[in-house]
Amino acid sequence: MDFKLFKEMLKRTLLVIFTAAVLACQASPKPQPLVQGVSNIVPDERQALVVREVVSLIENYNYKKIKLNDSISSLILDKYIKDLDPYRYYFLASDIKEFEQFRYSLDDDFRNGDLSAPFYIFNVYLKRYNEWLTYTLAQVKGKYNFDENDAYVFDREKMPWETSVAGLQDIWKKKVKYDLVNLKIAGTPPAKNIETLTKRYENLRSQTNKVNNQDVFQIVMDAFTETIDPHTNYFNPANAQQFNEDMARSFEGIGARLKLENDILKIDEVIPGGPAFKSKLLSAGDRIVGVAQGDGEFEDIIGWRIDNSVSKIKGPKGTKVRLKIIPAGRELSSKPVIIELMRERIVMEDQSAKKTVKTVMSDGKPYKIGIIRVPAFYADFKAANAGDPNYKSTTRDVKLLIDTLKNKDKVDAIVMDLRANGGGSLVEAIDLTGLFIDKGPVVQVKNTKNEIEVNEDSNPGVVWNGPLGVMVDRLSASASEIFAGAIQDYGRGVIMGTQTYGKGTVQSSIDLNRLVNPSILQRIAALVNKDAKTTLTTKDGAPIQLGQINLTMAKFYRVNGSSTQHKGVMPDVQFPSLYPLNKIGEDTEPSALPWDEVPKSNFKPVADLTPLKPELVKLHEERMAKSLDYKTLEQDIADMKKRDGEISITLNESKLKAERDSLEAKSLDRINKLRASRGLAPVKKGDKVKKEENVDFIEDESLQIMADLIKLTDPKKAELVNRQPAAF
């Protein structure tokens, strides 16, 4: 995020960390114990440097002002083991006992750049994983009695670690039996089920063989940083690129989504407008078996990891890539077709803000309402800094959509749909709020020195001054909460949905390459590249990449002084939560920062909607009391809660089938009752419901609430609202 706090921090960091990097490169890790039976994965000098720098950044600049110690080391170990084996399928109690030797030393090890302990633990995990894959493959062809009244415990998170190999064998045998009984109930013959499971397990083994030290390092660093706080995260170079592309909503390449299927790279989707789409040479289902850069030699990519293959296909716009393609429907042994594409900058429009217009009837009168779905607060900072006048950003996209809704569609109200919007750019949250309010404070930011900075919308005027609603749910977080909170505090609109996530912390993205002298990177590259399997320098000899860290450096507060941390934003009109509040949300994270308050900022509400809210809630509840959709939603949530508490499942075929049939019949009955209420024909088991027949009940009811708001803010009923002149 390019705000003042980040710039000041970076200046200080560059001075401190550069010296630390020079000195730290001399450290030598302890010898890593070898695990027999696997190809041991070991860390490299680059990762040793990164973990040292991350320790320094966290200890000096994380908002918690925390120092690594034995207590934190203990928490990191527990989290790392849980991340590797959450349901206790792989490790034995004896393994866990052995790992105790590392409980209070990880803090010192990480400070010294020593990763031997967590890499050793991973190699033990890898050995156990391969052992159990081998065991399950041997069990697939075994004889099973599906009339027994036994059960498979699939959630062992709170159970003790198994003390014997025989105990784990019993668990894995039941896992195989469960997979087989599921296939059997589906109606496929036994021989086909054995073939399906064998391929499934062999594919898992194949993927395991592709694990490298960057994968392991990412898992280690996740356990480390998330122990400090849930939102301080390290991204290895590949993940950093993906994160930044998601934030920018654009990337440079051929414009295709890819997936790995049986070790073959396959086109999953061709993105409209990209080179692949415009060329008409690629289709979904085509397989890519070779890649060449420009007029260079082809590389066979069969069996490669998907990230390695994708890195060969992506590249700077204006460069040429050639692909060997086996078209969909042809045998893999057929002669490949060679195609040539020029890479371009691809804008991911399907992941950008979009609008729809719906008309609702209320008291016999139609109301036209525009809905703007905002999936994230994104911005292409790289393009913006380069002076691209058409750079992607949430605010720019939404402004254009509002112009169309206002001037062409002539809507009566606008609803911003922020459901499942996990946040993104703080700057975008401020700018987007500015489209709906005149100049004024939007969010307050408190840094590690307890200094409070008020971030304001400095652009005069509003783009939309009509009735406004904001839809949120439990997955609406961070920047979504800043926007929704500001709209609520200003009295600018009505918030509808469920309590939001409660993420009230600010992260700065720091490119670790900017903190280290290039000559040191070259030294590390030379050391790492002694391993012939690893290439960490680009063709032109550019330095290796260290990745980036998103470091929690501040907390944000609403203009009313309240933090959204833990508590989130409470809607004015509430719906039942589709997501379990006791499992999803900041208040479920053990390392999360607490809720607190700061003084309220100097802001002036544009309206007081408080007198209206009880009436909006009353009208909403009256509709819900008569709504079959609402009753069905409540029943679905109750059923999910019941299933969520289950940790085992029967392996008796007839009982399992009866349970499934009962659930399917119950679900089908609910669907058909809803369809009947809408005048739609019933569907049978297995029928596909047409996309246009799907109903978003939460959205539909939110539009009814907006119609109520329009009526209650009618100038003829001005006595209902104590408003200031610029309200709507």
Is the pLDDT reported for residue 565 higher than 80?
Answer: yes
Is the pLDDT reported for residue 147 higher than 90?
Answer: yes
Give the model's pLDDT for residue 27: 53
Token pair, residue 459, equals 């652009």
Instruction: Report the C-alpha gap between 273 and 349 in whole angstroms.
Output: 10
- Return the exposure string of 374-405: e unless at least 16 CB atoms fall within 10 Å of the residue's CB, then b: bbbbbbbbebbeeeeeebbbbbbbbbebbeeb
Instruction: Report the C-alpha gap between 309 and 250 in whole angstroms.
Output: 19
What band does 645 get if pLDDT is binned at 50, 70 and 90?
confident
What band does 350 get if pLDDT is binned at 50, 70 and 90?
low
Q: What is the mean pLDDT of residues 171-175?
A: 95
503 is catalytic: yes
List 312, 392, 446, 503, catalytic entry: 503
| Residue 163: other Cβ atoms inside 10 A | 11
Q: Among candidates 649, 648, 651, which has minimal Cα distance to 146?
A: 651
Task: Give Cα separations from 541 to 510, 522, 535 (angstroms).
Answer: 23, 9, 11
List 109, 179, 380, 489, catalytic entry: 489
Instruction: List the beta bridge partners of residue 371.
Output: 356, 415
- Number of H helices and E strands in the chain, helices first, is 21, 21
- Among 49-63, 318-332, 592-606, the minimum mean pLDDT is found in 318-332
Q: What is the mean pLDDT of residues 543-564?
A: 92
Q: pLDDT per residue over 195-232, tens digit each?
A: 989 988 988 888 888 899 999 999 999 999 999 999 99
| Residue 635: other Cβ atoms inside 10 A | 12
Sign of CA dihedral 459, 420, 4, 514: negative
Token pair, residue 442, equals 């939007």
Q: Among candidates 522, 538, 534, which has minimal Cα distance to 293?
A: 538
* Beta-carbon contacts of residue 150 (< 8 Å; ≥ 6 apart): 174, 650, 651, 652
Give the model's pLDDT for residue 3: 39
Give the model's pLDDT for residue 524: 67
Give the model's pLDDT for residue 15: 40
Largest CA distance in the chain: 82
Task: Give Cα separations from 216 to 103, 179, 221, 719 (angstroms).
Answer: 19, 28, 9, 64
Is the pLDDT reported for residue 409 higher than 90?
Answer: yes
Using DSSP's 3-state secondary structure scheme, residue 223 falls into helix
Instruction: Report the C-alpha gap between 67 and 71 in whole angstroms.
Output: 10
661 is catalytic: no
Q: Characterize the bridge pairing of strands 344-347 and 250-253.
A: antiparallel
636 is catalytic: no
% of the chain exceeding 90 in pLDDT: 62
List 476, 478, 563, 601, catalytic entry: 478
Using DSSP's 3-state secondary structure scheme, residue 616 falls into helix
pTM, two decimals, is 0.84
Sign of CA dihedral 431, 432, 433, 435: positive
Q: Among candidates 41, 206, 219, which has minimal Cα distance to 126?
A: 41
Mean pLDDT over the full length of the chain: 87
What band does 391 get if pLDDT is binned at 50, 70 and 90?
confident
Task: Give Cα separations from 444 to 58, 113, 388, 422, 502 (angstroms).
Answer: 23, 37, 30, 19, 16
Residue 6 φ then ψ, to 5°: -65, -45
What band does 11 get if pLDDT is binned at 50, 70 and 90?
very low
Q: What is the mean pLDDT of residues 656-667?
A: 90
Give the model's pLDDT for residue 456: 93
Is the pLDDT reported for residue 532 higher than 70?
Answer: no
Instruction: Report the C-alpha gap between 323 and 305 in whole angstroms.
Output: 17
Q: pLDDT per residue over 434-476, tens digit each?
A: 999 998 999 999 999 999 999 999 888 999 999 999 999 999 9
